[in-house]
Structure 1
Amino acid sequence: MHFTPDHRPPQQPTPLAWHFAFVDRQLLLPEDEGQPLQPGQPTDWPAEAATRHYLGRLQDHDVWTLTLPEVPAGWRRVPLRAAMMQFDAPLLALAGRAAQVLEWDRTHRHCGVCGTPTELQAGERARVCPACGHAAYPRISPAMMALVWRPGELLLARAPHFAPGMYSALAGFVEPGESLEDCVRREVAEEVGVRVKNLRYFGSQSWPFPHSLMVAFTAEWDGGEIVPQPEEIEHAAWYPLDALPGIPPRFSIAGHLIRDWVARLAGEGTP
């Protein structure tokens, strides 16, 4: 399904439209768990939405995101992460986009410079201060992810907030004035105390928790012993390719990164 982004509602809305509706920042899904999210009539949704934004068009249907004060009949609230795990790629990306647009709108109702209430800009997705002119656009925070490897093994770690038994690649936010490559080297050194070389770009994923862009790399171990960073890393270790601990599901880029690199290392030895 092809998605065309736009912030301007069409003059002629489509008869059916996708609606990504949230209550208390949880996504609404059909009450019947066997029924998938699908396009519906705009009149199916209450008119008293606290916030409503147009996102664009998915194939032949408009796409909207909105917040409601309460759950309408026939719907249930689901945490966004759990909901996204049920979607295929197009809806997964749109659910993340919807959540990030609403979060931007919620957190920029007042000017960050002078405190004046902001106004939506007609020509672009922005909230502008009528007093000082400061414009606030949807915020994106770049973060790197690094899967450190050496022949036959991966370095995986778990943070205190991970689900029990879950391990993943290392990750951290990019600091001002830092390149993605510099961030990889710094974060790996800080979190587990090792050096890396031969960085290779793997891919990226929008991650709406709350507004990250995850940029994934693989990195070859270049020396040093694992020393977990206090309070950030609960445990880290080298794991053989055929004896990995629990890893993230494939809906996240971490799940793809680890599985794809295991397959490559197992098939080629040293990439």
Structure 2
Amino acid sequence: MKHRPGNNEQAYWLILSQDKLVKLDGQSCLTERKWSELSFISTYADEVIKVGEYRQRNCYVIDLGQEVLDQQNIELINLRAALMSEALDAFNILARAWQVALFLRTHKFCGQCGSRMEAVNWELAMHCHRCQHRCYPRISPCIIVAVRKGEQILLAQGAHHKEGMYSTLAGFVESGESLEQAVHREIMEEVGIKVKNLRYFASQPWPFPHSLMMGFLADWDSGEIQVDGKEILAAEWFDFDKLPLTPQRFSIAGQLIGATTGL
């Protein structure tokens, strides 16, 4: 899992500090450099982790933990801002790097016996040599669904949305539940309606903090909107040509809205 890069290897690097990504010299968070050009973090050479490839080059992540860099020309930005500012093809590698770093941060000690855990060299896992407990990165399945009624789409304002933002309905899959059952349950719980003609759309890893979003399209069947007032503060049927502020298209919510409205 860990990888000590050669000094002259040209690669893409992601550097994490606290809960932010490091942007060097006002450039991209995915900085293309040789390891020898990153001397200010040379003490972390043994902590370098390969998280995949980006634009036909290896991509590595270095997690500085809680260290605060005392370095000029450095900017710290949060993950959501980074995702919005980077190229669309960078989404998956950014999401993976963040989730890998979070996994390693939160599994330093065994959840079964409390002993210190060690990284497994040949797979992404942490292992306890005392009780043989092995952990893998957590992935939380979520459904997200765009509901259509004639030439209108159902959009809702969640409790955690920024002011004025409306999006599609979403929720976590519960134990023992199929994806389809989760869709019907979440929609009924949050807005009190029934849907039909459920069909799969696409999936997207969503690093907030470790979700896998599975998108669906559906049609309204029956019922009137009644928001739960907890998860959902407001919900309405919007004409396709009169949409409110909605998520950007890098997100699966934005893609679902686009597929439904044709916009």
Query: Common fold, TM-score beyond 0.5?
Result: yes
82-91 vs 68-77, which deviates more? 68-77
TM-superposed deviation, 1:122: 1.5
Instruction: Give 2:61's aligned residue.
Output: 65
Unpaired stretches in structure 1, ≥5 consecutive residues: 1-6, 265-271
Query: SS of the residue aligned with 1:145?
Result: strand
Counting only pairs closer than 5 Å after superposition, residues 104-119 of structure 1 correspond to structure 2 as: 104-119=103-118
Q: Is the 8 A contact 1:14 1:62 kept in 2?
A: no
Instruction: Give 1:240's aligned residue.
Output: 239
Q: Is the 8 A contact 1:99 1:208 kept in 2?
A: yes
Q: Is the 8 A contact 1:30 1:37 kept in 2?
A: no
CA deviations 1:99-123 (Å, max 9, x no partner) are: 0000000111111111111111112
Instruction: Give 2:43's aligned residue.
Output: 48
TM-superposed deviation, 1:44: 2.6
Counting only pairs closer than 5 Å after superposition, residues 53-132 of structure 1 correspond to structure 2 as: 53-68=49-64, 69-71=67-69, 72-132=71-131
Query: SS of the residue aligned with 2:246?
Result: coil
164-173 vs 64-73, which deviates more? 64-73
Counting only pairs closer than 5 Å after superposition, residues 143-222 of structure 1 correspond to structure 2 as: 143-222=142-221
Query: SS of the residue aligned with 1:162?
Result: coil
1: CA distance, partners of 2:48 / 2:4? 14
CA deviations 1:136-155 (Å, max 9, x no partner) are: 11111110001111101111
Q: CA RMSD in A?
A: 2.0
CA deviations 1:57-116 (Å, max 9, x no partner) are: 334422111122223432210111111112223312111111000000011111111111
TM-superposed deviation, 1:129: 0.9
1:251 partnered with 2:250: yes
2: CA distance, partners of 1:59 / 1:234? 41
Structure 1 residues 251 and 14, CA gap change in structure 2 (3 angstroms): farther
Query: SS of the residue aligned with 1:81?
Result: helix
One-letter amino acid matched to 1:27: L
Q: Is the 8 A contact 1:14 1:61 kept in 2?
A: no
1:28 partnered with 2:22: yes
Query: SS of the residue aligned with 1:234?
Result: strand
TM-superposed deviation, 1:173: 0.5
Query: SS of the residue aligned with 1:85?
Result: helix
One-letter amino acid matched to 1:53: I
Q: Is the 8 A contact 2:126 2:134 kept in 1?
A: yes
Structure 1 residues 261 and 32, CA gap change in structure 2 (3 angstroms): same
Structure 1 residues 18 and 244, CA gap change in structure 2 (3 angstroms): same
Q: What fraction of aligned residue pairs are identical, expressed as a percent?
A: 39
One-letter amino acid matched to 2:54: L
TM-superposed deviation, 1:27: 0.8
1:15 partnered with 2:9: yes
Structure 1 residues 60 and 236, CA gap change in structure 2 (3 angstroms): closer
Instruction: Give 1:39's aligned residue.
Output: 32
8-17 vs 245-254, which deviates more? 8-17
Give structure 1 regions of 4+ aligned residues with deviation exceeding 4 angstroms: 10-14
Q: Is the 8 A contact 1:14 1:60 kept in 2?
A: no
2: CA distance, partners of 1:57 / 1:152? 41
Q: How many residues align?
A: 257
Unpaired stretches in structure 2, ≥5 consecutive residues: none
TM-superposed deviation, 1:8: 6.0
Structure 1 residues 60 and 223, CA gap change in structure 2 (3 angstroms): closer
One-letter amino acid matched to 2:86: F
Q: TM-score, normalised by structure 2?
A: 0.91
Q: Is the 8 A contact 2:21 2:29 kept in 1?
A: no
One-letter amino acid matched to 2:93: L
